[in-house]
Structure 1
Amino acid sequence: MERELISKKDLLELTGISYGQLYRWKRKQLIPEEWFIRKSTFTGQETFFPKELMLSRIEKIIHMKDDLSLDELADKLSPLLYDIHLRKDELMERNIVSKIILERFGSRFVEDGAFSFESLLFLFTADKLLQNGEMSMEEAGMLLQTLGEQFSKLQGKPCDLFFIRKMGVAAFALLVMPGELYFESGVKIVARLSMTACIEELKNKLS
């Protein structure tokens, strides 16, 4: 199961940006190195990108570049907002995470009465799958345990979350991107989420 990719040629045509802009934004770390994916084609090696993530990121850069310098943009688009801390009532008031998941699991992640961005990301991801009806409350607890134990080991690298089941038993895996994951027969992929996309979505809710 692979994420939809877009070629460099198609990306430049679709967004109207130039080759020079694309690689200048890369040098300034506005676009992660890991999103530049080299693949073999019948014409040789070509560069591809995760389509949804790239289009969203370029739209943000174009929207903000007139008001911020490229260095300021890089800070704004950094993977995690380490300095953010919100209380439970603020989260509920702004509808960032549902009341049910905060009441059931919030105590695992709250520190000094507030939630960090990383904690919010874990709860937000679990809430997303619960709201879609793809996951039970017990499985949400398993997911949160997995994220709490494993996410920091990725050291900010782009990754995808896989939610799988076999014979009714759920499991979760984090795959550093780009990468391919293959499962044994009988495994059903219930959901696959880009954690980078979840980070972007959460940051939009917080901004």
Structure 2
Amino acid sequence: MEQELISKKELLDEKGISYGQLYRWKRKQLIPEEWFIRKSTFTGQETFFPKDLILTRIDKIMNMKDDLSLDELADKLSPLLPAFELRKADLFKRNIVSHVVLERFASEDKESVVYTYEKLLYFYIVDKLLQAGEMSLEEGDKLLQTMKDHYPKFEGKPCELLFMRKMGVSSFALLSVPAEIYFETGVKLIARLSMAESIEHLKGKLE
């Protein structure tokens, strides 16, 4: 299954931005380097982007650029985990994750326990898939363990989470991006989440 792409020309035309703007945002790290994908076409080499990710990112940049400097925007859109901590009691009060997630995955933690941003991210992703009705609580256990075991290995590098199921058996994977993924017959891709986008969304809820 290949990620849907949009060409640079299509992107510039659709969003009404210039070549110079696009590459200035790239230099300022508002758009990740790995989203610039070079591919061979009948006219030669062309640049493409992951369609959903780049359209969402351009919208965010254009909506915020009048209120924030490019450096401030770069910090807000950074895929790196910020140094942030939150008590369990505040996590529920601020509606960061649902009561179901806290009861299932943090029932033994005291109300005064403090979670790092990384732990908050794990809860947030599990909650997102549960609320979408795409995952059971038992699968949530497996996802949480996968995140704990493997996400730290990426050390801030861009990656994606894949949630797959075949004949009722689910599995999860974390992979570096960009990547083209192909599955054996019968595998259903339930969800494919950009960790950078998930970090952005969580930052928004915590502001």
Fold match by TM threshold 0.5: yes
Tell me the number of residue pairs that the alignment of Structure 1 and Structure 2 aligns.
207
Q: Deviations over 1:65-103 (max 9, x none)?
A: 233322222122211342221222222222210111112
Match of 2:20 in 1: 20
What letter matches 1:94 in structure 2?
Answer: R
Structure-1 residue corresponding to 2:177: 177
TM-score normalised to structure 2 length: 0.89
Structure 2 counterpart SS, 1:193: strand
TM-score w.r.t. structure 1 length?
A: 0.89
Contact 1:109–1:119 (CA<8 Å) still a contact in 2?
no
Task: Compare 135-144 and 182-191 and name the one that shifted more.
Answer: 182-191
- Check conservation: 1:82, 1:116, Cα contact below 8 A: no
Shift of 1:107: 6.1
Tell whether the 8 Å contact from 2:2 to 2:182 is kept in structure 1 after alignment.
no
Structure 1 portions without partners, runs of 5+? none
Residue equivalent to 1:58: 58
Single out whichever of 1-10 and 65-74 deviates more from structure 2.
65-74
Give deviations 1:168-188, integer Å, cap 9, x for gaps: 222111121111222233333
Helix, strand or coil for the counterpart of 1:2?
coil
Look up the SS of the partner of 1:95 in the other structure: coil
Q: Which moved more, 1:142-151 or 1:58-67?
A: 58-67
Cα distance in 2, alignment partners of residues 127 and 109 from structure 1: 17
CA deviations 1:38-61 (Å, max 9, x no partner) are: 112221111111222212222222
> What 5-or-longer segments of structure 2 have no aligned partner?
none
Hey, what does 1:204 align to over in structure 2? 204
Over residues 122-165 of structure 1, what are the superposed CA-to-partner deviations in whole Å (9 max), with x where a residue is unaligned? 11111111112221111101101101111111222222211122
Aligned residue in 2 for 1:132:
132
Output the CA distance in 2 between the equivalents of 1:167 and 1:35.
33
CA contact (8 A) 1:6 1:50 kept: yes
Secondary structure of the corresponding residue to residue 48 of structure 1: strand
Question: Structure 1 residue 4 and structure 2 residue 10: aligned?
Answer: no
Identity %: 67
The one-letter code sitting in structure 2 at the alignment partner of 1:53 is L
User: RMSD value over aligned CA atoms?
Assistant: 2.2
